[in-house]
A and B are shown apart, each in its own frame.
Chain A
Amino acid sequence: MDEVMAYVDGELDGAARAAFEQRLGADAVLRSRVEREQRLRAMLGATYAPVVDEAVPPRITAVLRPKVVSLDSRRRWTPTWVQLGGMAASVMLGLIIGHQMRPAGGGLNAQGELAQALDGKLSGEGVGSVRLGLSFAAKDGRYCRTFATDGSAGLACREDEGWRVRQLMPAAPAAAGEYRTAASGLPPALLAAVDEMREGEVLDAAGERAAKSRGWKR
């Protein structure tokens, strides 16, 4: 085995190492070979070491999480439109009439333009009157997205059978001339729900594209 390689890789035992270092002091050719090895290690380190400082994406940590979701955490995220009373109920009715949602299993599932937009559009894009806001990975292992449509704003999460609406409320009016971001126009209550539910940061464009390419399943 090559001794220079064994030396820089820390594979020489104490005596062999000491002997090698003694020769190293007297042999410039040997020293330049060691330096060449160290240059390579430095370049590899500069290239790959920064990866360990990156945030681990939620889809990876999600693999390690037990699949069972507690009933309590589910209950916190049930739609709030039930409690919002008359106004939300009328919003909901309008959306159902608008063919964007249908009642299912005691809640609402997205359909029509809303479902198309949630499946296929990135933040800031939309279909018809539907505009997508923020996308994020939720603590229960699902992807969720906020949306605005016809004077209402909401949040839907991709469940096995489709997009389940978990929040629905009247949209916040946009201030004139306001700089629009993905979160603009979202009611504070909806942003608070996002903050409570999300695991890690909201997705950037690359993250959204990756999630979309997996059918919004983690």
Chain B
Amino acid sequence: MSVDELRQGIAALLPQLRRFARTLAWQREDADDLVQVALERALKAEEQWQSGTRLDAWLYRIMKNAWIDELRSRGRQREVMVDVDVEELSETVGQSQTGAVITRLAVHKAMARLPEEQRLAVSLVLVEGLSYKEAAETLEIPIGTLTSRLARGREALQAVLVDGETQ
């Protein structure tokens, strides 16, 4: 695959890469910063991509690593993230989709409370639709570790989101 073809392949994946980023960094600008950093790293390391393997999984892995680096460098500012959510709610709540906005916010808050490794597992399998094998390879962990993180993460989400809703 030529450099141009690789770039075209990446370009076609941009919408889902942005979605993955949004599960990690909820604010659009932060998420797009993450995508941008990941793309720059991918292009620098383009000779490391092995033709015939899944390009999306390779890019998710680069983005995951970029995100972990980002968290380390900023020392994890969860408080800040939650503050910004409230602003977003007050800006958008006047629109007709109030219920949808509240659902999105509740989902985001529940996701934000998960330990990072559980959130990555939930995001790759339940949002991005990767198989267990693909998700484990992306996160560079054994499948058994992936499924136990996934099980704990989704149980925590269900307890807050689904059980809370039906009570």
> Which listed residue (B16, B29, B107, B150) contacts A47, Cβ 8 A?
B107
A87 interface hit (Cβ, 8 Å): no
- Cα distance A156–B86 when bound, in Å? 37
Q: Which residues 107-164 of B have a CB within 8 angstroms of A?
A: 107-108, 122, 125-127, 131-132, 147, 150-151, 154, 157-158, 161-163
Closest to B150 in A: A5
**Which stretch in B36-44, B47-55, B63-71, B72-80 binds the other chain?**
B36-44
Indicate if the CB atoms of A5 and B154 lie closer than 8 Å. Answer: yes
Q: A9-B132, A52-B15 are in contact. Are A59 and B32 (CB under 8 A)?
A: yes
Residues of chain B within 8 A of A11, CB atoms compared = 131-132
Among listed A33-41, A110-118, A186-194, interface-contacting one: A33-41
Contact of A49 with B154 in the complex, beta carbons under 8 Å? no
What chain A residues lie within 8 Å of B158 (beta carbons)?
Answer: 36-37, 39-40
B126 touches A41 (CB 8 A): yes
Judge whether B35 is part of the interface by a CB distance below 8 angstroms: yes
Which residue of A11, A45, A47, A206 has the most chain B CB atoms within 10 A of its CB atom?
Answer: A47
Give the shortest distance, in Å, between B42 (CB) and chain A (any CB): 9
Q: Which residue of A40, A47, A59 is within 8 Å of B154 (Cβ)?
A: A40
Q: Which chain B residue lies CB-closest to A49?
A: B19
Question: Does A104 count as interface, using CB distance less than 8 angstroms?
Answer: no
Q: Do B36 and A48 have beta carbons less than 8 Å apart?
A: no
A64 touches B154 (CB 8 A): no
Complex CA–CA separation, A64 to B22 (angstroms): 20
Q: How far is the CA of A173 from the CA of B127 in the complex (A)?
A: 53
Q: A5-B154, A51-B22, A61-B14 are in contact. Are A44 and B127 (CB under 8 A)?
A: yes
**What residues on B are CB-neighbors of A54 within 8 Å?**
15, 18
Task: Kindly report which residue of chain B lies nearest to residue A38, judged by CB atoms.
Answer: B162
Report the Cα distance A61→B19, complex, angstroms.
Answer: 15
CA distance A73 to B162 in the complex (A): 55
- Taken together as a complex, chains A and B put the C-alpha atoms of A57 and B22 apart, in Å, by 14
**Chain B residues whose CB sits within 8 angstroms of the CB of A39 once the complex forms:** 158, 161-162, 165
0/1 interface trace, chain A 1-37, chain B, CB 8 Å (1 if under): 1100100011100000000000000000000000011
For residue B7, CB closer than 8 A to chain A, the reply is yes
Contacts of A1 in B (CB 8 A): 147
One of A43, A44, A47, A51 near B15 (C-beta < 8 A): A51
Q: Does A71 contact B (CB under 8 A)?
A: no
- Is B14 within 8 A of A5, CB to CB? no
User: What are 5 A-B interface contacts by the 8 Å CB criterion?
Assistant: A45-B127, A48-B22, A51-B15, A60-B35, A63-B43
Closest 5 CB pairs of A and B: A52-B15, A51-B19, A47-B107, A63-B39, A47-B104
